[in-house]
């Protein structure tokens, strides 16, 4: 497949994978492996000092996967910037998935705080991949601020409801000069195929891979969905029509005229 | 001495260094990132930094996330 290029870096996979909510590190690894992903997201949280648990980074091969820390949990720009700086101090490359989600029920991204944080982080040298509402005007502002992608949501995080924002994402794709990564809400291979058929450059999936008894098989299913969608986009889909158009010849029927 | 670690009050011996604290908590320095009184530290360089009464220390690590 044609490579995805973000901030001058080439990726052979157009599927990014989130590492949250897996039943075990092994389940997470098997989904990463079978999905063919090359970018994986992680979050930053306080250590429970009474029960530190194990170090999840030891389960991710940093040679193979680009670690993309997110700023999840941030309620405003200030908290997001703080998390991004912590991620960089922890030794990550300066790539950050910017998330500012003050609303605890739908986890919808705050457009104003996201843009504010993006402006600061771009100035500090981060490659910023902002999670955002599917708003074409905001996408242009983020791009002008220097973000390396835009990441509109298909549906709220973890809902598995698919491309509910389809019409707006179409406009974003039409206007964007940076890769469009559809993030959040994509719950089935058909959802990611739909996004890719529309011309999205990539997708990010987490819940759908974690929330299944067989993450390895689901990872492969999503890989195939992304590739099928991308190939169809590159090939060019036929137009939709209101009326039937016969596929078989309309002559030579075995009947009297 | 009394310190705020990850949002909670904890008692530690006076003169404790960051390295000693991490050892006491059985945390490898390379798996955490630290913020002392809102300033991000380079963990390796601050192993010998002494902690003080009322310091606010955040000990952060990577976890799974989307």
User: What would the two tokens of residue A176 be?
Assistant: 């964007």
Indicate the pLDDT class of residue A64, thresholds 50, 70 and 90.
very high
Burial of A94 (0-12, 13-18, 19+ CB in 10 A): middle
Which CA distances in Å does A203 have to A31, A140, A182, A193?
A: 15, 19, 5, 10
Structural domain boundaries of chain A?
Answer: 4-235
pTM for the predicted model, two decimal places: 0.93
Compute the average pLDDT of residues A139-159.
Answer: 97
User: Is A243 part of the annotated catalytic residue set?
Assistant: no
Compute the average pLDDT of residues B32-53.
Answer: 91
Which CA distances in Å does A118 have to A74, A111, A184?
A: 13, 10, 19
User: Per the CB < 8 Å rule, is B61 touching A44?
Assistant: yes
- Nearest by CB to residue A49, choosing from B31, B59, B66, is B59
Report yes or no: A226 and A196 within 8 Å, Cβ to Cβ.
yes
User: Per the CB < 8 Å rule, is B31 touching A55?
Assistant: yes
Place of tokens 């924002």: A165
User: What would the two tokens of residue A9 be?
Assistant: 């870096």
Write the pLDDT tens digit of every residue in A71-96.
999 999 999 999 999 999 998 899 99
- The pLDDT value recorded for residue A91 is 87
Domains of chain B, first to last: 2-60 (3.10.20.30)
pLDDT of B45 > 90? The answer is: no
What superfamily in CATH does domain A4-235 come from? Aldolase class I (3.20.20.70)
Indicate the pLDDT class of residue B43, thresholds 50, 70 and 90.
confident
Burial of A141 (0-12, 13-18, 19+ CB in 10 A): middle
Mutual orientation of helices A215-235 and A189-197 as an angle, nearest 10°?
Answer: 20
Mutation target to probe the A interface, by most A beta carbons within 10 A, among B43, B60, B62, B66 is B66
Q: From the candidates A10, A97, A123, A223, which is the catalytic residue?
A: A97
User: What would the two tokens of residue B21 be?
Assistant: 């604290």
Mean pLDDT of chain A: 96
E strand or H helix at A85: helix A77-89
């Amino acid at each position: 497949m044609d490579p995805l290029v973000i901030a001058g870096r080439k990726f052979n996979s157009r599927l990014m994978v989130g590492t949250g909510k897996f039943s075990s590190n092994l389940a997470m690894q098997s989904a990463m492996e079978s999905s063919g992903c090359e970018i994986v997201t992680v979050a930053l949280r306080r250590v429970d000092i009474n029960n530190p648990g194990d170090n999840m980074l030891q389960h991710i091969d940093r040679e193979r996967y680009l670690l993309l820390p997110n700023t999840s949990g941030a309620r405003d720009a200030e908290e997001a910037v703080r998390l991004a700086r912590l991620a960089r101090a922890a030794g990550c490359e300066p790539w950050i998935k910017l998330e500012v989600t003050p609303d605890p029920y739908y986890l919808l991204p705050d457009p104003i705080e996201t843009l504010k944080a993006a402006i600061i982080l771009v100035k500090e040298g981060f490659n910023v991949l902002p999670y955002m509402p599917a708003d074409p005007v905001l996408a242009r502002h983020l791009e002008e601020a220097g973000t390396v992608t835009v990441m509109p949501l298909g549906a709220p995080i973890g809902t598995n409801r698919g491309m509910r924002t389809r019409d707006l994402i179409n406009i974003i794709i039409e206007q964007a000069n940076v890769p469009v990564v559809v993030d959040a809400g994509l719950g089935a291979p058909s959802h990611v195929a739909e996004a890719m058929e529309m011309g999205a450059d990539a997708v990010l999936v987490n819940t759908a891979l974690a929330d299944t008894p067989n993450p390895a098989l689901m990872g492969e299913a999503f890989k195939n969905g992304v590739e099928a969608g991308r190939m169809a986009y590159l090939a060019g889909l036929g137009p939709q029509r209101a009326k039937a158009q016969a596929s078989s010849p309309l002559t030579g029927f075995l009947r009297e005229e | 001495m009394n310190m705020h670690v990850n949002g909670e009050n904890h008692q530690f011996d006076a003169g404790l260094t960051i390295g000693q604290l991490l050892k006491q908590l059985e945390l490898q320095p390379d798996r955490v990132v630290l913020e002392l009184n809102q300033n991000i530290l380079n963990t390796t360089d601050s192993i010998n930094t002494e902690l003080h009464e009322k310091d606010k220390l955040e000990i952060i690590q990577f976890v799974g996330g989307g």
